[in-house]
A and B are shown apart, each in its own frame.
Chain A
Amino acid sequence: NAGVTQTPKFQVLKTGQSMTLQCAQDMNHEYMSWYRQDPGMGLRLIHYSVGAGITDQGEVPNGYNVSRSTTEDFPLRLLSAAPSQTSVYFCASSSPTGLNGYTFGSGTRLTVV
């Protein structure tokens, strides 16, 4: 049972490039979300999904797109990378009741130069 798998673990982009961060879970969780973590800021929600075909914005959505075509996958797309998007990105999944809490992926460390 892999849990939540994020790829890649590290990435360096040039300003203006685009890329997709992948996230997959094998726990059949309805809820999935993307957070970014910056020093001194805790974790901030970028986008979330409550099921296949349903997504919504979180606290810091600008510059990011998401889609949820299947229960298992929830990719995060950076449309035109900016240095302000340098961060560590975490994907998480949860059942609606949350009795087992959130499960996080191992994170993607992204640097935009």
Chain B
Amino acid sequence: GIQVEQSPPDLILQEGANSTLRCNFSDSVNNLQWFHQNPWGQLINLFYIPSGTKQNGRLSATTVATERYSLLYISSSQTTDSGVYFCAVPPLRSGGSNYKLTFGKGTLLTVNP
């Protein structure tokens, strides 16, 4: 099946700093999703981004499907950004359908005040 690798595994920032999280995948995909798991365990969908760039406030994501990677940018980080960030892709030949996803192991982000 498809392999998903995220880097870095851990990241510690001071409040106000910017960061870039990377997600590499082993084959062509029709969509990719980014999730944030807060310190209380809740998983929140951040972006559904098959290709191109999307922005939502201080967060933005870019997927370059032809080169098999996606980037999540966090600008002016805040302590509430702490948690684990996951990327996930659907199976090959699914037409991008979301009936199941393969997740990376995540990036643990700690933002200190």
Give the B-binding residues of A (Cβ under 8 A).
31, 33, 35, 40-45, 48, 50, 58, 88, 90, 92, 94-104, 106-107
Q: Are A31 and B86 in contact (CB under 8 A)?
A: no
B20 at the binding interface (Cβ < 8 Å): no
Q: Are B99 and A33 in contact (CB under 8 A)?
A: yes
Q: Which of B31, B86, B88, B99 has the most CB of A within 10 A?
A: B99
The answer for the CA separation of A4 and B2 in the assembled complex, in Å, is 27
B103 at the binding interface (Cβ < 8 Å): yes
* Distance to closest chain A CB from B59 (angstroms): 14
* Distance to closest chain B CB from A98 (angstroms): 4
Q: Which residue of A lies closest to B105 (CB)?
A: A42
Q: Are A41 and B100 in contact (CB under 8 A)?
A: no
- For chains A and B in complex, what number of residue pairs have CB atoms within 8 angstroms? 67
Give the A-binding residues of B (Cβ under 8 A).
31, 33, 35, 41-45, 47-48, 86, 88, 90, 96-106
- From known contacts A40-B105, A41-B105, A98-B97, infer whether A88 and B41 are also in contact, taking CB-CB under 8 Å: yes
Contacts of A101 in B (CB 8 A): 33, 45, 47-48, 98
Q: Which residue of B lies closest to A99 (CB)?
A: B48
* Distance to closest chain A CB from B92 (angstroms): 14
The answer for the CA separation of A98 and B91 in the assembled complex, in Å, is 14
Q: Which residue of A lies closest to B48 (CB)?
A: A101
* Distance to closest chain B CB from A9 (angstroms): 10
Contacts of B96 in A (CB 8 A): 98
* Distance to closest chain B CB from A51 (angstroms): 9
Q: Which of B31, B44, B45, B106 has the most CB of A within 10 A?
A: B45
- From known contacts A33-B99, A48-B99, infer whether A98 and B31 are also in contact, taking CB-CB under 8 Å: yes
Q: Which residue of A lies closest to B34 (CB)?
A: A101
Contacts of A43 in B (CB 8 A): 86, 88, 103
Which of B33, B48, B104 is the one whose CB lies under 8 Å from A42? Answer: B104
Contacts of B86 in A (CB 8 A): 42-43
